[in-house]
Amino acid sequence: MASNTDRKQQKKKANENDIRKLFQNFDKNNDGEVSISELVMGLQVLGNNPTKPEIDALLKDMGVKAGQKIKFDQFKKCVEKYYDSEDLGPEAESDRLDRAFKVFDKNGDGSIDREELKVVLTSIGDKMTNDEVESMFREADKNNNGKIDLKEFKRMFLKGVR
């Protein structure tokens, strides 16, 4: 039978693995760091719609200055401070993506068009350019119907745009 200490260590390791996976999901270009725009998008996936002052306060809390990227250790401290471990598992992740989809789907039609994606990604934090948004949209719209459905949206955030 596992001791209480063993269970705590297993839970801590599982939590760190969940945080690392979350970090990798935020790190869309796989450079090992999270840009401010990647952070904002990731927070939106978590069901948040942070304002610029909230982003600025979060960056200050992590010790990140404007234009700098966020390293895993900084990200981990922030996640541990603001989220319970239950908020990081796969079920919670799917729920967050469902909620985030609704943030992007401004007109509530069950899909995200170019303009809806552009409004969110060019309006806060380290804003994406129109070309970056267009590239992301083309990559996410796997069936080329001019809209991103929930399945495409989840694939975009869970696996990165491929």
Q: What are 130-139's pLDDT values in tens digits?
A: 888 898 899 8
Distance from C-alpha of 27 to C-alpha of 108, rounded to nearest angstrom: 28
For residue 90, name the pLDDT band (cuts at 50, 70, 90).
Answer: low
Q: Is 80 exceeded by the pLDDT of residue 124?
A: no
pLDDT at 32 (0 to 100): 92
Distance from C-alpha of 45 to C-alpha of 70, rounded to nearest angstrom: 18
Average pLDDT over residues 26-55: 81
Closest of 162, 138, 132 to residue 41, by C-alpha: 132
For residue 150, name the pLDDT band (cuts at 50, 70, 90).
Answer: very high
Distance from C-alpha of 105 to C-alpha of 96, rounded to nearest angstrom: 14
Q: Is 60 exceeded by the pLDDT of residue 84?
A: no
pLDDT tens-digit series, residues 57-83: 888 888 888 788 999 999 888 877 766
User: What sections of the chain are H helices per DSSP?
Assistant: 4-26, 36-45, 52-62, 72-82, 90-104, 114-121, 130-140, 150-159
Average pLDDT over residues 20-34: 85
For residue 148, name the pLDDT band (cuts at 50, 70, 90).
Answer: very high
Pick the CATH number of 4-159 from 3.40.50.1970, 1.10.357.10, 1.10.238.10, 3.30.70.420: 1.10.238.10
For residue 155, name the pLDDT band (cuts at 50, 70, 90).
Answer: confident
Distance from C-alpha of 136 to C-alpha of 156, rounded to nearest angstrom: 9
pLDDT at 42 (0 to 100): 78
